[in-house]
């Protein structure tokens, strides 16, 4: 029976290394790998092909996903899930590896409940907001992209004695902004997980400016929707020229870091071994926590909301008040 891989939802660096290793490792295990193109929409439309080594040669260094992705409203409807199942059945595919986030995993859990197609989810989202795992594919590359952006903006800010406001992605999670602020020497960090006091921050920064501070770096998580407010605060309250930079979707792309490539190989290896060698009574997600890989049920993954480590939040207190 065949085994297929699908990428669903937002793309991220690390997906292509995972796809390549999926194909290579399936052949090592004596299984025919299949590629599902264009995510859940492609699954509905039957855009499924047998994979060859040549399909994945030379993709390790590429960001994004060569097999495409999508967000599918149609998959919420049973008739389209039935079509997707028929396409898999025609290829004798009984097992799926899914690269995506919690929404993708929930969709495949419903698919399993409907038709019994076994799957293992691999967390792949730069938001790093999936409960139960400390790491998702793409996060390290995104953080390095943000680091490069902050370093570049800091250079020009220091030249003109300006403040800079850098907005990061992350949906409702402040993880990217928090780690970036901590590792870039930012003076201000605004994230959903922490309350902030602009009056206190302002007094502290004004004092530093009197004593020689020439520029200010502020990192703001998109989930706070505070980028322009922070910009106005800098100019109107602190009386320093300021510029805002919204990094946007460059955080999803780019050359995958060594760490993301390695994690892709490890995630895929353990996922394939698990799905081939054990009886799965439900959809599973492979997680990485405290330096170890483990498997959790979708119900467990959905049982709580991801939260940033309290120790990391504590380290950021000086950037919020």
pLDDT at position 254: 94
DSSP codes of every residue in 68-128: -----SGGGSHHHHHHHHHHHHHTTEEEEEEEE-HHHHHHHHHHHHHH--EEEEEEB-TT-
What tokens appear for 94 in the block? Answer: 């009984």
Q: How high does pLDDT run on average in the chain?
A: 95
pLDDT at position 102: 85
Q: CA separation (Å) from 112 to 88, 140, 245?
A: 13, 31, 43
Strands (E), 152-252: 163-168, 188-190, 216-221, 242-246
Q: Tokens 């330096």 — which residue?
A: 291
Q: Where in the chain is the domain with CATH 3.40.50.450?
A: 2-138+256-301
Report the half-sphere exposure of 14 (CA within 13 A, side-chain side): 31
Query: What is the reported pTM?
Result: 0.95
Is the predicted pLDDT of residue 121 greater than 80, yes or no? yes
Sheet strands side by side (includes 284-289): 48-50, 33-36, 2-7, 93-100, 118-123, 284-289, 292-297
What tokens appear for 102 in the block? Answer: 């919690």
Low-confidence winner among 4-8, 148-152, 303-307, 312-316 (lowest mean pLDDT): 303-307
pLDDT at position 1: 77
Is the predicted pLDDT of residue 88 greater than 80, yes or no? yes
> How far apart (Å, rounded) are the C-alpha atoms in residues 77 and 88?
17
pLDDT at position 281: 62
Longest Cα separation, the chain: 72
Tell me which of 127, 129, 140, 260 is the catalytic residue: 127
- Say if residues 190 and 218 touch (Cβ distance below 8 Å): yes
CATH number of 140-252: 3.40.50.460
Number of H helices, E strands in the chain: 12, 11
Instruction: Average the pLDDT over 85-90 and give the result.
Output: 97
Instruction: Average the pLDDT over 15-28 and give the result.
Output: 98
Contacts of 269 (CB under 8 A, 6+ apart): 21, 25
Q: Tokens 């505070």 — which residue?
A: 226
CATH number of 2-138+256-301: 3.40.50.450
Cα-based torsion angle of the residue sequence 89, 42, 122, 168 in order, rounded to the nearest 10 degrees:
-170
- Say if residues 152 and 164 touch (Cβ distance below 8 Å): no
Instruction: Average the pLDDT over 86-108 and give the result.
Output: 94
- Say if residues 241 and 161 touch (Cβ distance below 8 Å): yes
Cα-based torsion angle of the residue sequence 160, 161, 162, 168 in order, rounded to the nearest 10 degrees:
90
Calculate what percentage of the chain has a pLDDT beyond 90.
Answer: 94
Is the predicted pLDDT of residue 277 greater than 90, yes or no? no
Our answer to whether residue 11 is catalytic in this structure is no
Instruction: Average the pLDDT over 68-74 and give the result.
Output: 94
Q: Where in the chain is the domain with CATH 3.40.50.460?
A: 140-252
Instruction: Average the pLDDT over 54-58 and give the result.
Output: 96
Task: With cut-offs at 50, 70 and 90, classify the pLDDT of residue 279.
Answer: low
Instruction: Average the pLDDT over 121-138 and give the result.
Output: 96
Is the predicted pLDDT of residue 22 greater than 80, yes or no? yes
């Amino acid at each position: 029976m065949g085994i297929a891989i699908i990428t669903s939802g937002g793309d991220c660096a690390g997906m292509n290394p995972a796809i390549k290793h999926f194909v290579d490792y399936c052949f090592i295990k004596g299984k025919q790998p299949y590629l599902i193109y264009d995510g859940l929409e492609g699954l509905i439309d039957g855009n499924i092909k047998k994979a060859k080594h040549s399909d994945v040669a030379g993709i390790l260094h590429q960001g994004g996903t060569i097999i495409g992705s999508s967000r599918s409203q149609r998959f919420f409807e049973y008739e389209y899930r039935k079509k997707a199942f028929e396409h898999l059945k025609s290829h004798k595919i009984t097992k799926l590896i899914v690269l995506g986030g919690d929404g993708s995993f929930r969709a495949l859990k419903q698919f399993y409940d409907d038709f019994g197609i076994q799957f293992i989810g691999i967390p792949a989202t730069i938001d790093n907001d999936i409960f139960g795992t400390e790491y998702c594919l793409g996060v390290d590359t995104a953080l390095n992209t943000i680091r490069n952006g902050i370093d570049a903006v800091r250079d020009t800010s220091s030249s003109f004695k300006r403040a800079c406001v850098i907005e990061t992605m992350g949906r409702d999670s402040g993880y990217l902004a928090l780690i970036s602020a901590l590792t870039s020497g930012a003076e201000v960090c605004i994230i959903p997980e922490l309350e902030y006091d602009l009056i206190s921050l302002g007094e502290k920064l004004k004092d530093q400016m009197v004593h020689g501070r020439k520029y200010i770096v502020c990192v703001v998580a998109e989930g706070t929707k505070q980028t322009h407010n922070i910009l106005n605060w800098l100019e109107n309250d602190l009386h320093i020229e300021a510029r805002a930079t919204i990094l946007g979707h460059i955080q999803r792309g780019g050359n995958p870091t060594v760490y993301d490539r390695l994690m892709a190989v490890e995630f895929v290896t353990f996922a394939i071994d698990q799905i081939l060698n054990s009886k799965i009574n439900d959809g599973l997600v492979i997680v990485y926590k405290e330096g170890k890989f483990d498997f959790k049920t979708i119900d467990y993954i959905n049982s709580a909301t991801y939260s940033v480590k309290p120790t990391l939040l504590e380290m950021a207190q000086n950037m919020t008040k």
